[in-house]
Amino acid sequence: MEILAIILFVSIFVLILYGYPVAFTLGGISVIYALVFLDPITFAAFPPRIMGVMNNQVLLAVPLFIFMGIMLEKSGLAESLLETMAMLFARVNGGLAISVVLVGALLAASTGIVGATVITMGLISLPTMLKRGYKATLASGTIAASGTLGQIIPPSVVLVLLGSVLNVSVGDLFAAAIIPGAILVIAYLVYITMVATLFPGMAPPMPEEEVKAFTRDKKQFWSKVLKAFLLPMVLIIAVLGSIFMGLASPTEAAAVGALGATGLTMIQGRFTKAVLNAVMRETTHLTAMVFIILLGATTFSFVFREMNGDAYLTSLIQNANLSPMAFLFLVMLVVFIAGFFIDFIEIIFIIVPVVAPIFKSMGVDLVWIGILLALNLQTSFLSPPFGFSLFYLKGVAPDEVTTGHLYRGIIPFVLIQLALLLTVIFFPEIIR
């Protein structure tokens, strides 16, 4: 029976790589195995398991954070942030790239939605950077890397889902992710500053006449700066501050964020019935996708455990005398490679439920594991040849930006992220 559980896991993974729908592959194959190999009485325990997942209050944060992110995408906040930030750093070599990283961090802390951030910044800033003489490799790499900061900087949908699967506090994951997220932003800025200093032709400053034209009216300029920074900061403080101060649960804070994002869209003068319809339609689509995959994953994990697959894997690890650190490196390698081929949602719902009990039996801190998995998933999101962030950016990039530019441009940022991942592995006190 234990061998059949492993065959179930492998067959599902192969079928997903082959292109079959994830949710129906997870649920369908698992049900077939259960019908053939398990006692029919076992199914009596399945409906309560499904309802237990659907009644999980923490998962209410998922549609609310998705709504918040998509509403902010429609608000025009990203455009005003990029425009204002670019002028603040206009006289500095690499100023545009620096502004993209900082805006990416602010958007990540406001939305947590990677695809929307990459596409928005790709549409707004990539043509401008190329027009200003930036090398396509540096410009595309900066945008793709900055857009994925939403994977690790709270409030992150990835962290919400990991908290649910690992059965740890989402608030604890949010708090633990702040320092690694800040280190990553600083590392990006240091790299861009070094490149722009050593090779000024790769990232020239903006023309002086454009800067003077934008800043001629000092009062209006600082009013734009204040408005551009104040609005997202109020939202970030409302969402994250309410969690860290103990005023609200992550789910309640997500509701505050959704309402706040709607208010910001109204302030920007972008709130219309058409915008609201589009936001609700996209939110429903993404939420339905997440939850149907979750139901399929719940079916898989139920059948896998009924077949004693988790106990078998635990005994294999124990008999192999793998230390917790050796097992961690094995899991990180599997997740990193899997990220080349399948989406982070599928990895969270397929691989994490299998390895989480083993980490727990080893006495490993699951909050630490959650942060490592989030950093790993973020890295695989960028890694050639199948990084999803690269596909998002290529879809909106001008014709002169080739796939080769994207691949070469992203490599330094992937190395930075891998360095941070190793740092958090060897110095876990960073997240505490």
Of 36, 30, 1, 91, the closest CA to residue 350 belongs to: 30
Give the list of residues 6+ apart from residue 329 with CB closer than 8 angstroms, or none.
none
Q: Are 302 and 46 in contact (CB under 8 A)?
A: yes
Helix (H) or strand (E) holding 375: helix 366-382
Q: Which residues of the chain have pLDDT under 70?
A: 110-116, 210-211, 213-218, 221, 341-343, 385-388
Of 12, 46, 14, 41, the closest CA to residue 29 belongs to: 12
State how far the Cα of 98 lies from the Cα of 146, in Å rounded to an integer.
Answer: 10
pLDDT tens digits, 296-347: 878 887 888 788 777 777 777 777 777 888 889 988 988 887 777 666 777 8
- CA 361 distance to own-chain centroid: 28
State how far the Cα of 191 lies from the Cα of 199, in Å rounded to an integer.
Answer: 12
**61-75 helix and 114-131 helix, angle to the nearest 10 degrees:** 20
State how far the Cα of 223 lies from the Cα of 102, in Å rounded to an integer.
Answer: 19
Written as one string, the DSSP assignment of 167-233 is: T--HHHHHHHHHHHHHHHHHHHHHHHHHHHHH-GGGSPPPPHHHHHHHHSSHHHHHHHHHHHHHHHH
Give the list of residues 6+ apart from residue 38 with CB closer than 8 angstroms, or none.
303, 306, 307
pLDDT tens digits, 158-191: 888 898 889 898 889 999 999 999 999 999 999 9
State how far the Cα of 162 lies from the Cα of 349, in Å rounded to an integer.
Answer: 9
First to last CA, the chain: 41
State how far the Cα of 156 lies from the Cα of 400, in Å rounded to an integer.
Answer: 33
Q: Are 415 and 160 in contact (CB under 8 A)?
A: no
- What sign has the CA pseudo-torsion 73, 79, 80, 86? positive
State how far the Cα of 104 lies from the Cα of 117, in Å rounded to an integer.
Answer: 7
- Against a cut of 0.85, is the pTM above it? no
> Which residues in 295-311 are b (16+ Cβ under 10 Å) and which e?
bbbbbbbbbbebbebbe
The pLDDT of residue 224: 72
User: Cα–Cα distances in Å, from 97 out to 118, 188, 314, 332, 406?
Assistant: 14, 10, 46, 30, 15
The pLDDT of residue 110: 67
Q: Are 65 and 157 in contact (CB under 8 A)?
A: yes
The pLDDT of residue 85: 76
Q: Are 118 and 388 in contact (CB under 8 A)?
A: no
> Which residues in 392-407 are b (16+ Cβ under 10 Å) and which e?
bbbebbeeebeeebbb
Residue type, 38: L
Q: Output Rg (C-alpha) for the chain, integer angstroms.
A: 22
